[in-house]
Structure 1
Amino acid sequence: MRFNRKKEKEFKFSDYKGENKPGLLTSFDRLDYIYVETKDDEELFKICDTLLGGKPVIVNFDKLNGADCNYMLAFISGVVYALEGQAIRIGPKLFIFGSKKDYEDGSLLQYVEDNK
């Protein structure tokens, strides 16, 4: 005997956009904070893997000199471009990176506005 189960509708985070539903995480809630101390490719790949994994990231480059910071920013910006996302400067060496989907709920943009 075979039972056919009805497939439940899969909900995406954007289906809940604008509604106040308990238990749902905003992009700000999923945000990772990374403090970069040295120009290290492994650290760079960790940041990019986090973005590719669907989580927005705040990266602090305070300990890096200008050239190393620009190198890492250029690489991360390429990943952000591929995700159709945005890189926003929120401090002298502090940036927030996210995909297009991460900015849809408005929580990251609200964070940027609150910290200007």
Structure 2
Amino acid sequence: MPVHRDRDKKENMVEEMDVEDHEQDASTSEEEDSDTSSVSEEDEMDEEDCERRRMECLDEMTNLEKQFTDLKDQLYRERVSQVNCKLSEVEAGRAVDYLDPLAGLLESMQVLTSASEWTSEESER
């Protein structure tokens, strides 16, 4: 009989394991159902959150673009002002950037003119 008892014990254990497995399967499917519903809620919240963040990013990008345009315009106005100032100095004959190269050109012109006159006088003799 001990052999039958062992066999009965094994059969009972197998039946208990089957019952436990079935209970676990049932609880797992319930958890999956609740997970699915929470995933749907999370998806909706994620979509709302993503849309909110998207709008915030678009607002920030618009703000940055406006700041960039303002700075670009300011830089352009400053540069035009600098060019106009330099042009006024050149027209008045006060611009060092203009006067130094002009002096060099005048000197070269004097040298060439003098050389040309000297060659002309030489050829006339």
More helix per residue: 1 or 2? 2
TM-score of the superposed pair, with normalisation by structure 2 = 0.20
More strand per residue: 1 or 2? 1
Higher RCO by CA contacts (8 Å cutoff, separation 6 or greater) = 1
